[in-house]
Amino acid sequence: MSDSVLPASVPHDGTDAEARPVFVTERRVLGIPVSTWPSILAPVAIGCLALAAWEAIVRIKGIPSYILPGPLLIAQTLVADWGTLSGALWITLRITFAALIAAVTVGVALAVVFTQSKWLEKSLFPYAVVLQVTPVVSIAPLIIIWVGDINLSLLICAWIVAFFPILSNTILGLNSADHNLVNLFQLYGATRWQTMRYLKLPAALPYFLGGLKISGGLALIGAVVAEFVAGSGGSASGLAYRILEASYQLKIPRMFAALVMISMTGVAIFLATSFVAHLLLRRWHESAVKREN
């Protein structure tokens, strides 16, 4: 009977193969699709204009650099102080990434455990919320006192801030697997583990990646905030401490330079997590797919 199967890939044969959605393969310049370029160039142009205006105002009004340094001076400081600042950046980055990894591990593991037992979720989830809504600035001093080791306490602070979006998003994702697919797995006698591995975890991936994008930035913020608290207590570390130190010494351009580094790091983390999300979802998820209409 296999002689009578429908020809699948013959073009213009009137089968429903003709009704497949149309996808775009776009021309690329420097590896980036043509239609993406405006969304890169527009913010860059606005940024350049704003920096130029800033520099002009500082020069025309003669504002002293200890009140507001111009972007050129900040760039010069960034280059001149690169040695000190990059060392501090490295410390902050290490804490940020360690916190993010811990947030992903604990967040996903807890989410998996919570979806296995409704009671566990009901009894523990409120405390995850409490942890999330307690301002980290207010508990950072306590953590620093209790833990003793400064790097570990910074890590814990950054983790507290970063882990909640991953937990709540992954729970949402694990629970949003297509109900009929869950039934289908049941029909085939799938074990809990098989259902998790082949159905729930893949279904949760887009949600998890959404959480990761938020947590990436939050881990950095958490690390910096905790460093500020630790820094005011006299423990030296990271970029935030450099900012504090510079402000005590009225080295305002250096403060700005450190600030620029933190912002750029945040942007880099966002771009990296977005890129990972794009790679993982581009073949199948609506959010990562381009259509002709």
Partner 1 sequence: MSAEPSFAAPASRALVSIRRVSKQFANGTLAVRDVDLDLAQGEFVSLLGPSGCGKSTLLRMIAGLGAPSAGTIDWPTAVHDADGRPQRDLGFVFQDPTLMPWATALANVTMPLVLKRMNRREADERAAEMLALVGLKGFEKAYPRELSGGMKMRVSIARALVTHPSILLMDEPFAALDEITRHRLNDDLLRLWADQRFTAVFVTHSVFESVYLSQRIVVMAARPGRVMADLTVDAAYPRDDLFRTSAEYAHLCRVASETLKKAIAL
Chain contacts with partner 1 (rule: CB under 8 A)? 1-2, 4-9, 14-21, 23, 178, 180-181, 183-190, 194, 198-199, 202-203, 205, 283-286, 289
Question: Which pair of tokens denotes residue 112?
Answer: 């998996």
The one-letter code for the residue type at 8 is: A
Compute the least distance from the CB of residue 288 to partner 1, in Å.
11
C-alpha torsion sign, points 263, 269, 275, 278: negative
Do the beta carbons of residue 213 and residue 225 sit within 8 Å?
no
Structure tokens at 245: 């130190």
Nearest Cα to 237, choosing from 46, 84, 105?
84
- When the beta carbons of 15 and 232 are compared against partner 1, the nearer one is 15
Q: Which is nearer to partner 1, 3 or 234 (CB)?
A: 3
What's the CA gap between 274 and 37, in Å, rounded?
Answer: 17
- Closer residue to partner 1 in complex, CB, 18/26: 18
CA 70 – CA 72 distance, rounded (Å): 6
Nearer to partner 1, 116 or 186 (CB): 186
Nearer of residues 116 and 194 to partner 1, judged by Cβ: 194
DSSP helix/strand/coil, 28 = strand
Minimal distance, residue 212 CB to partner 1, in Å? 17
C-beta closer to partner 1: residue 127 or 193 = 193
> Sign of the CA dihedral 149, 154, 155, 161?
positive
Query: Minimum distance from CB of 1 to partner 1 (Å)?
Result: 5
Q: Closest approach of Cβ 279 to partner 1, in Å?
A: 13
Under DSSP, the state recorded for 2 is G
What are the two backbone dihedrals, phi and then psi, of residue 32, each rounded to the nearest 5 degrees? -115, 130
Element (H, E) at 29: strand 28-29
CB of 187 to partner 1, least distance (A): 6
Which two three-digit tokens encode residue 287?
Answer: 């959010």
The minimum distance between CB 28 and partner 1, in angstroms, equals 21
- Closest contact distance (angstroms) between CB of 282 and partner 1 is 10
Instruction: CB nearer to partner 1: give 100 or 177.
Output: 177
> What sign results for the dihedral spanned by CA atoms 144, 150, 151, 152?
negative
